[in-house]
Chain A
Amino acid sequence: MCGSKIKISEANYLKVKEICASFNNNPGELINVLHQTQGHFGYLPEEVQQVVAECLQIPVGRVYGVVSFYSFFTMKPKGKYAISVCLGTACYVKGGDKILDALKSELKINEGEVTPDGKFSIDVLRCVGACGLAPVMTINGKTYGRLVPEQVKDILAQY
């Protein structure tokens, strides 16, 4: 007869509360709150969205509506090392798709997925603002430019 129970670790619960509080629990700051929360956790699982909803005093459907609308937000966990491959115009022309293929065959996962050991994940994005270095990928924010597919294996080995 009771309402649903959401399982979450106390540490994570307090962390989300802290992020929301830093925005004064203002529902108008939802996107900023989610941005920072994802920055901390790497993704936005259901239980985290539930805490955000509670803190900002809005229905969890509102939170989920925003998370599912913006492609930046993800509900899937990322790897310890999150790889982003740029497929913006310049990178694409310079062979960004071949870099992506090399990563996929090396790690045996598709874009949007995580390796079974949780170490790497691959995502695709459109332009990181480093077109002069095309084709580009980033790993946890570190940029690798002027790539050729043969370099991929060596770069991954550094992690």
Chain B
Amino acid sequence: MDTIKLTIDNREVEVPKGTTILKAAAQMGIDIPTLCNFELEGLALKNHPGGCRICVVEVVGRRNLAPACITECMPDMVVKTNSLRAINARKTVLELMLSDHPNDCLQCAKSGKCELQALAAKLGIREIPYKGEQSHYQVKVSPSIVRDIDKCIMCRRCESVCHEYQSVGAIGAVDRGFPAVVSTAFGKDLIDTNCVFCGQCIVVCPVGALTEVDNTSKVLRDIANPAVKTCVQVAPAVRVALGEEFGMPAGSIVTGKLTAALKQIGFDYVFDTDWSADLTIMEEGTELIGRLTSFLKGDKSVKLPMMTSCCPAWVNFYEKFYPELKENPSTAKSPQQMFGAIAKTYFADKIGVKREELVSVSVMPCVAKKFECERDEFKTNGNPDVDYSITTRELARLIKICNIDFTKLPEAEFDSPLGESTGAAVIFGATGGVMEAAVRTAYEVLTKQSLPKIDFTELRGLEGIREAKVNIPGVAELNLAIVYGLGNARKIMEQIKAGTCPYHFIEVMACPGGCIDGGGQPYHHGDAEIIKARHKAIYEADANMPIRKSHENPSIQAIYKDFLVEPCGEKSHHLLHTTYFDKKTKFDLEK
């Protein structure tokens, strides 16, 4: 490999040709500040517009300052990242940005996690010498995402993730000059656009311009209400990320402390979405086996490939962009909604309350789940199966509000009966997990034999599109694909439309690496190592479980015996399955 020698801050360094000054400096331990620059290395998510100019450095012999994030190293280059000229320019750029930024850090939802605030601290900004015009836009609220565009610094990370990564294109830059702003087409509300509420725009936003709808006060209100009982479910990916909010290393598995915290906050019943993930496998796995068996018998009307339907942003995506393929995804509801449906029927009956007297809350790594709760098809007489959802970040805030010292909490167990789960359920939190859980069950159900090995490592990994073949002896060799990122999902959908898709079953998750990097997770600020640590922790949590196959969950077996009768049976069909709608924008042609 060709390498280049150069000098940065009086030290020599040798880097491969094509390396930017920013990366060369980083490997020397020089931390040049950035703002618009963003990259989740290894997960194909990036934004390098070179637009904000916070990273400017002095290059000896060059007339103007160079943006380090997009300037490649050249032989014998002499770079000064901390010359007076560079420091002054960087400060001026930041001061100009701050002169059009609301000075409301105290009540900003991003306070303490804001990259602009951190930068002002790092550069030692003590006054803003520029008084000029300020942007004033209305705060826009959607079911999942709040947009406070006065805080936008036009880094356009959200636009990159929405257009290039997710291939959705709901938000982007409009107008020019001072009024230029990130907005929707024609300034519409997100709900009236193609937005799928994945929330990756929130994840990458360096400031408080994009945040989640905050439901923490609803939780406190309902817990204090003596007229209702409260139950909560916690999604798999929350337990491998929540610890980060309390200074624990990324990848800490905090299931026991998390359960204890929810009890201390005051929920009457603390349950586990992992339980309903096992239930999902029973339903979705049975549906897959049904479709495959018909297909192998020669029924060509069967819709294959079957696709997973757990991810609510993915559901929104195919309803809005590929309604012609809406029969391909499994009709099984997501684990969140299966849980809600059982909580408001079976469980409410068991504890002797009406569904209106039971508030069902979910803790999710996701903001699209907030929208999912609000879907009309998941309500009975206007009462939702899941009343509302909070993100991992909101739970961390609740824990702090409730004076709980998280790291010192003793571990607790989930309540029964909707709390028991298996290793197959916890891996739902990572890309490939739903697929592996389904294969573990489908294999044993179809062959009536015990799996020779539980771990399907060929289904694991962090590449955006993965394929694998799994042989089910005496039945078939299954062609499987696992996809995350909706841009990747779009490629698969186009294959299906063209009739060139070779797969039987496809797992799709909208977010990078699956739910572990969902739109509601603690901010990683572009550090891919955090995602990798959460990914590893998910599989560790699986390996630690005594039972690792969904169909062996005794509490799942019990609910089929007592209540549901059989997977994909009449009762399941009514409670645990759904239909999808055509939500594509259409033209109403007038003669």
Contacts and interface: CB of A to CB of B under 8 A. Distances in A.
Interface in A132-158: none
Contacts of A62: 163, 169, 172
Nearest to B163: A59
Contact of B585 (A13, A50, A58): A50
A149 to B, nearest CB: 32
A41 B170 CA distance: 26
Interface string A3-40: 11111111001000000000000000000000000000
A8 B587 contact: yes
B581 A2 contact: yes
B585 A49 contact: no
A69 B588 contact: no
B159 to A, nearest CB: 9
Given A3-B320, A59-B168, A59-B194, A64 B588 contact: no
Given A8-B590, A61-B193, A64-B185, A2 B171 contact: no
A3 B186 CA distance: 17
Interface string A44-75: 00110111001000111111110011100000
Interface in B240-272: none
A5 B585 CA distance: 6
B585 A3 contact: yes
A68 B589 contact: no
B185 A60 contact: yes
Nearest to A1: B581
A2, A8, A49, A62, most chain B CB atoms within 10 A: A2
Nearest to A51: B587
Contacts of B12: none
Nearest to B187: A64
B13 to A, nearest CB: 40
B488 interface: no
Interface in B166-196: 168-176, 184-186, 192-194
A7 B184 CA distance: 19
A68 B169 CA distance: 16
Contacts of A68: 174-176
B175 A69 contact: yes
A1 B583 CA distance: 7
Given A46-B186, A59-B163, A61-B193, A3 B170 contact: no
Contacts of B588: 5-8
Contacts of B586: 2-6
Given A59-B168, A61-B184, A4 B192 contact: yes
B354 to A, nearest CB: 27
B591 interface: yes
A129 B171 CA distance: 38
Interface of A: 1-10, 13, 46-47, 49-51, 54, 58-65, 68-70
Given A13-B587, A13-B589, A61-B184, 20 more contacts: A2-B581, A2-B582, A2-B583, A3-B586, A4-B192, A5-B585, A5-B588, A8-B588, A54-B587, A59-B163, A59-B172, A60-B585, A61-B185, A61-B193, A65-B172, A65-B174, A68-B174, A69-B173, A69-B174, A69-B175
Interface of B: 163, 168-176, 184-186, 192-194, 319-320, 323, 376-377, 581-591
The 6 lowest CB-CB distance pairs between A and B, nearest first, are: A59-B169, A3-B583, A64-B185, A61-B185, A10-B589, A1-B581
